[in-house]
Structure 1
Amino acid sequence: MRKLLTIVVADDHAIVREGLKLLLSTMDHVSVVAEAADGETLTTIVRASSPDLVILDLGMPGVAGVQFINELRAVAPRMKILALTANIEPRTVRAVIAAGASGYLTKTGDPAELNAALDAMLRNEIYLSQSVRFAIDDPRSHQPPPTTDTALSPIPLTRREMQILSLAAQGLTARETADRLGISPLTARKHRENLMRKLSLHNTAEIAAYALRIGLPIG
């Protein structure tokens, strides 16, 4: 007998959540167990109920894109994540999949793709919306991802600053950054403070967004 797939719908627009729940209600062996309108609520729900799948709006309040996917996977490693977004930027598609999402749907796509995505995930396959498949199929997408030596920042950064930026965007603490780079935690903290001041960034979410924008691998 096919296992019931438990799903949490996460989007900050109530009309989108209702639309998704309506679509899901027509599918066999699917149960929407909760819904969330922000990242903090979603994390609490995932920690408490351990659903099989989250349909995640990447633009929802409290969701720092790829970094949030990493955080969800840390809370529930076996849970599948289906990204739902209006963003069709190839770099974002590749970063989201690289971070561990099992699917990527666009809000402008055909509603039938939701069923196709769930079927693919039950087969442990990755599903990409028709409108973004070029991001993976494009031969250029198979080139090595940018590194701290090749990513380009609008504001010139030293190699050490790029390393600090990349590690901070991954959510590493000052002590973890220090261990990775072979420096003291105090030095790592000072580097990070100087970097944030230089780039006018104020928190980890902004650091992750900046790193993603310039092409640094943060997943």
Structure 2
Amino acid sequence: MGDHVRHDSVRRSYDTVAEEYARRLHAELDDKPLDKALLAALFEQTEPGTTIGDLGCGPGHVAARLAGMGARTVGIDLSPGMVAAGRRRFPQVEFRTGDLVELPAENAEFGAVTALYTIIHLAPGELHRAFAEMARVLRPSGLVLLSFHIGEEIRHVDEWWGHRVDVDFRFLDPTRVAESLEEAGFTVEMRLERTHYAHEVETRRAYLLARSAVSTG
């Protein structure tokens, strides 16, 4: 399956579940203390006054939490349905529709970006392109916080909460992801793994915090 066709399938799948996703998961961070701590650490290290981009933002609850800390936030998602759900719920967040490998953002627009459980929908060959895009939209020394499921498997889903979908979830090797970030010019500053919380799907999860290159200009 070509990248374009696969991205269309992911987009349609998330459009299909957007409203239910937003209803079920809008408060999921309340029960994820480590995620909240990492978001707070990201915000604390982001240059004051700069914007944080939430890539693969879904219905925008992560961007909204960062906005609650005082950040100016932009949520970007492949799914127009997710973007619409976010706009209805979180007017304090600016939303845009766009792809990780071709972000609708200016060069150096963001002081930091998050990408939580979103690179899991990319083909392995697309990771470097996505990380290059993150580097492009970040200011010098900007931070990116990534999370993903750990492993080698591809988990296909064709039914989600009673809806017909067609989407793959790719589990990833943290070492390979870190290497790909470094190839795109990032320095990985933190790598962490955890088991699932009781209310989550039973997978191990990885978090990487990486910094973009310092400007030499």
Which TM class, normalised by the smaller chain length?
Answer: 0.3 to 0.5
What TM-score do you get using the length of structure 1 for normalisation?
A: 0.37
More strand by share: 2
Larger radius of gyration: 1
More helix by share: 1
What TM-score do you get using the length of structure 2 for normalisation?
A: 0.37
